[in-house]
Copies of this chain bind each other. A is one copy, B any other.
Amino acid sequence: MNAPPLTKNQALVFDVLEKAEGPLSAYTILDKLRDHGFRAPLQVYRALEKLLEYGVVHRLESINSFVACAHPGENCHSHGIVAFAICESCGQVMEFHDHEVDHRLMDWTRGKKFKAEKTTIEIRGLCEACAA
Task: Mark each residue of chain A from 103 to 132: 1 if its CB lies under 8 Å from any CB of chain B, else 0.
Answer: 011001100111111111111111110010
A123 contacts B114, CB within 8 Å? yes
Q: How many residues does chain A have at the interface if contact means C-beta atoms less than 8 Å apart?
A: 33
Q: Is A35 an interface residue (CB 8 A)?
A: no
Query: Given A98-B104, A100-B104, A104-B101, A117 and B126 touching (CB < 8 A)?
Result: yes
Q: Bound complex: CA of A94 vs CA of B94, how far in Å?
A: 28
Q: Bound complex: CA of A10 vs CA of B116, how far in Å?
A: 33
Q: Is A88 an interface residue (CB 8 A)?
A: yes
A125 contacts B131, CB within 8 Å? no
Query: Given A61-B122, A119-B122, A126-B117, A83 and B112 touching (CB < 8 A)?
Result: no
Residue of B nearest to A131 (CB): B115
Q: Is A70 an interface residue (CB 8 A)?
A: no
**For residue A128, which residues in chain B have a CB less than 8 angstroms away from its CB?**
112-114
Residue of B nearest to A126 (CB): B115
A125 contacts B121, CB within 8 Å? no
**For residue A120, which residues in chain B have a CB less than 8 angstroms away from its CB?**
61-62, 120-124
A85 contacts B109, CB within 8 Å? yes
User: Which residues of A come within 8 Å of B, CB atoms?
Assistant: 61-62, 83, 85, 87-88, 94, 96, 98, 100-101, 104-105, 108-109, 112-128, 131
